[in-house]
Amino acid sequence: MTVVTTGGPLPPQPYDVAVVGAGVVGSAIARALARHPRLRVALVEAQDDVGQGTSKANTAILHTGFDAVPGSLEARLVREGARLLTAYAAESGIPVERVGALLVAWDREQLATLPRLAGKAARNDCHDTRLLGPAELYAREPHLGPGALGALHVPGESIVCPWTTTLAYATQAVRNGVHLHLECRVEQAARRDGVHELTTTRGTLRAHRLVNAAGLHADTLDRRLGLDDFTVTPRRGQLIVYDKFARSLVRHILLPVPTALGKGVLVAPTVHGNVLLGPTAEDLDDKRATGSTADGLAALREQGRRVLPALLDEEVTAVYAGLRAATGHEDYRVRAHPAQGLVTVGGIRSTGLTASLALAEHTLDLLRETGLDPGPARDLEPVRMPNLGEAFPRPYQRADLIAADPSYGTLVCHCERVSLGEIRDALAGPVPPRSLDGLRRRTRARAGRCQGFHCGAAVRALFEAGRRDAAPAPGAPAEAGGT
Amino acid sequence: MSAVRQVDVLVVGAGPAGLTAAATLAARGAGRIEVLERERTPGGAPRTCAHGGFGSWRRPLTGPRLARELAEAAVRAGAVVRTGVTALDWAGPLDLATVGPEGPEILRARAVVLATGARERPRAARLVPGTRPAGVYTTGELQRAVHLHRQPIGTRVVIVGAEDVSYAAADTARRAGAEVVALVTDLPTHRTAPARALDTRLRRGVPLLTGAVVAELLGHGRLSGVRVRHHDGRTAVLPCDTVVFTGDFVPEHELARRGGLVLDPRTRGPAVDGALRTSRPGVFAAGNLLHAVERAATAAREGALAAAAVTAALAAAGPGAGTAAGPGAPRPDGVPLTVDPPLRWITPSRVTPADALPYTLRTASRLTRPLLEITQGGRVLHRQRVRGAAAGRSLTLPAHWTHRVDPAGGPVRVAVR
């Protein structure tokens, strides 16, 4: 019996551990805790789905960690996390493509920086980087704009599906006994007799130990618990997704040579068969400022034009903006507070997707420091996620699947080739979508070039029918997801 | 590996162009004619247009009625119309890989007619910044939501655009019980019939904001408003929960591009000659795939013309299944046909002396009974005054001058004098 709630009262008896924030990091931690059957674990999320915050809107790269600060916690966890996530993805069906990255030097100064970056990569245990001259660079990337002088090739850099990753963790956690409480925003926090009392929009939730994985809001939650270690400054990254016809223009993740101002704007293929351009980097103070701006998009296009001129001729499929949890520190802000029965997992930037499984292991160690005895561990039954990646057979390409169930041959979303069967499966999943956006992250339906012109109404009809059929959770909102 | 099944002509898309092509071919006895439609019902875009304005003035029809009649005519003539079947990609010069509930299949044809239609560019492709709330539509999605699925769409609607389709979107929104807050266009005036614009503005009380763009979408979860910017820089927020991006049609050219067919850079549809032949022998194109949105009657006319060209190609290739029309009937070279501003595009965009198909042109600014001059290398081939057109509307140029074209004489230009 799985437990996912979106309304109604919360169980009165205290959990052993409550994880606040069901992003990629919080979900990974919940999954790690689920390996210990003796623990009662809650995963608490303010929004109506997992991965709805920073996790859904990143650059979708599985990093090697070649450019991390050597010796930092981030460097170690990214390195370990990359190995763990690569293995986990293979087991779970999360699409990953090891396309490699090219750090492209556009002037002499940048060219001179490349050997130093290769040295840094080696210090980060990434020993297979290689310097390329312009001839080899253009042979590898024939559509690259003119004027590149050379590149550093980092073959291990990969692209991954961020939506499937978060959903796989959450699904596996829920299947193994974790209670997922959605639409459950933490508004107050207090600790009485060693028990945390979280006042949420859905009542009080109690837990002996707390993991703060609240992303952008980790500093707020920490302060409610009497801690003042860091401040999260939202850093907005706007990105443009280009149409699938652009995919043949680029073979690697094309990175600029990093400068003092940051990692800069990249051009990268996605596992869904598109091309990403972005992100911008704008420090803001509004944690809800997830809008794109005309200036931001113009700046991205300007930079994209230099890297891959033909990209600008292709249609834009989507524009989005994500907020990174910048803290003004160079490293993650992960710390145990044994006196408070708390582990804070803060300041996790875009590398958090790669590091998620290692962060989860690290958090479990820190929970032990707070006196938690997790008890015996078991291996979890693997999850098998529906494949959203273009490098692997999609359901409509599988004659065996269609023969067994014709709904996999019935396409509903034509641009993304999403079948009726996949939509039905997503709606019946252990962590079902609560909105059309949630359905899109599970199936890609409505994510394509027409953005619903052809299929939007049909997908909405399926979604609403699926919600009507599902047994309504107590107090679940009657309102449908809208478009 | 899927089995290969042979047909004579494969038509991709069961809209007015595809269905008319299929009906014409079947009536001419061109063999097994199969129409593939990925939607569940045939008829194309008219199916979702519950309003009238289709058919002829003698016999006016609503969109759904026209769609039904076209489909019935194709079937009655002997064509096989298969719905719920998607043409995925090319598996050979005239082979298409398909999938449907019955599984994958490769269809091999002697000739292929692409009639995949057009769609409106959505908000993202127009690079309209802001948040990503629910309540953002194109007219196509709106019409399907309201007319096919009876879904509620919101209460206060802003329409982006002020052309025919925008006014149709406004009607659809009102029919769904919503209030239309405004139509917004960056042009100095609307692009629909004056009577219709006046009726919407006065009788329905819907304001038309000209010289203005929707510069930002606002709201988390559900749309809460749009920021409108006038040309002079003033901005204002229109509170609304729904916005419809109308017009700005683009050809649905996925299959054409996947096949590496040469596209017309102006229309972004496949470049065709006067017989609607694409750059791939044996592959023809018709309807709104060629030029984005024209009336259903224009698409149907092109479907009929494509059918005539396919029949000729099949006859030239000789009888018998297994013989592709393509290799037996290479495309006559023709010469490029281009337009000068303010004309935006012309289709067909290649011309041979034998061509008899009327040309469709679109203009970027209003033309009142323009004199069109057709030249080749400075030599005037033809001058003709034609009916005028507003910006974004098309005009028609008859083809009775094409016999003067020199096949070795270089590009032919059409200019407005």
Rounded-to-integer distance, Cα A48 and Cα A182, Å: 5
pLDDT score of A481 = 33
State pLDDT tens for residues A154-183: 999 999 999 999 999 999 999 999 999 999
B15 CA to chain A: closest CA distance, Å? 13
Tens digits of residue pLDDT in B10-42: 999 999 999 999 999 999 998 999 999 999 999
> What is the CATH number for B291?
3.50.50.60
Q: Over range A70-91, report the average pLDDT.
A: 97
Reported as a single tens digit per residue, the pLDDT across B370-405 is: 899 999 998 999 999 988 777 777 888 998 899 999
Q: Closest Cα partner for B115 from B354, B331, B363, B296?
A: B296
The listed CATH number (3.30.9.10, 3.10.20.30, 3.10.150.10, 3.40.430.10) that belongs to domain A99-156+234-326: 3.30.9.10
Q: Do A483 and B215 touch (CB under 8 A)?
A: no
How many CB pairs lie under 8 A apart between chains A and B?
A: 129
Interface of A with B in 168-187 (CB under 8 A): none
What is each CA distance from A368 to A149, A342, B131, B140, in whole angstroms? 51, 11, 41, 57
- pLDDT number for residue A261: 63
Catalytic residue among A36, A63, A179, A196: A63
Residue B59: predicted pLDDT:
83
The predicted model gives B242-252 an average pLDDT of: 96
Please give the DSSP secondary-structure letter assigned to residue A450.
T
pLDDT per position as a tens digit, B339-360: 999 999 999 999 988 888 889 8
Question: Is A63 in the active site?
Answer: yes
Q: Is a pLDDT exceeding 70 seen at residue B246? A: yes
- Looking at the fold, whether B342 and B410 belong to one and the same domain comes out as yes
What ipTM was reported for this prediction? 0.94
- Residue % of chain B over a pLDDT of 70: 96
Q: How close A453 gets to chain B, by Cα (Å)?
A: 4
Tell me the residues of chain A between 265 and 304 that have a Cβ less than 8 Å away from chain B: 288, 290-294, 296-297
pLDDT of residue B320: 54
Domain end point (choices B213, B245, B277): B245
Give the number of domains in chain B. Answer: 3
pTM: 0.94
Determine the pLDDT at residue B264. Answer: 93
Q: Where in chain A is the domain with CATH 3.30.9.10?
A: 99-156+234-326
> What's the per-residue H, E or C state across B88-99?
EEEEECCEEEEE
* Residue in chain B nearest A312 by alpha carbon: B125
Q: How far apart are CA B210 and CA B232, in angstroms?
A: 12
Going by pLDDT thresholds of 50, 70 and 90, the confidence category of residue B328 is very low
The residue out of B210, B245, B280 marking a domain boundary is B245
CB B151 to CB A458 under 8 A? no
Residues of chain B neighbouring A249 (CB-CB closer than 8 A): none
B84 contacts in A (CB within 8 Å)?
410
Q: Do A403 and B101 touch (CB under 8 A)?
A: no
Chain B nearest-CA residue for A322: B131
Which residues on A lie below 8 Å from B253 (Cβ)? Answer: none
How far off is chain A from B102, nearest CA to CA, in Å? 6
User: A260-317 pLDDT, tens per residue?
Assistant: 666 789 999 999 999 999 999 999 999 999 999 999 999 999 999 999 999 999 999 9
Residue A176 is predicted with a pLDDT of: 97
Average pLDDT, chain A: 94
Reported confidence tier of residue B291, pLDDT bands at 50, 70, 90: confident
Q: What is the arithmetic mean of pLDDT over B175-187? A: 95
Last residue of some domain: B245, B269, B295? Answer: B245
Q: How confident is the model at residue A474 (pLDDT cuts 50, 70, 90)?
A: very low
Q: In this structure, are B89 and B196 located in the same domain? A: no
The domain of B272 spans 1-120+249-333
Q: Which residue of A has its CA nearest to B222?
A: A482
Q: Which residues of B touch A406 (CB under 8 A)?
A: 101-103
The DSSP letter of residue B344 is E
Residues B363 and B400 reside in one and the same domain: yes
Average pLDDT of the segment spanning B76-84: 96
Chain B residues within an 8 Å CB radius of A450: 119, 122, 138, 140
Q: How confident is the model at residue B326 (pLDDT cuts 50, 70, 90)?
A: very low
A320 touches chain B (CB under 8 A): yes
For chain A, what is the largest distance between any 2 Cα atoms, rounded to a whole number of angstroms? 68
pLDDT above 70 as % of chain A: 97
Beta bridge partners of A202: none
Residue A232 pLDDT exceeds 80: yes
Lowest mean pLDDT segment, chosen from A167-181, A468-482, B279-293: A468-482
Domain boundaries for CATH 3.50.50.60 within chain A = 3-56+163-232+329-369
Instruction: Say how many C-beta atoms besides its own lie within 10 A of residue A281's C-beta.
Output: 17
CATH superfamily of the domain spanning A3-56+163-232+329-369:
FAD/NAD(P)-binding domain (3.50.50.60)
**Strand ranges (E), B340-391:** 343-347, 350-351, 359-363, 371-376, 379-385
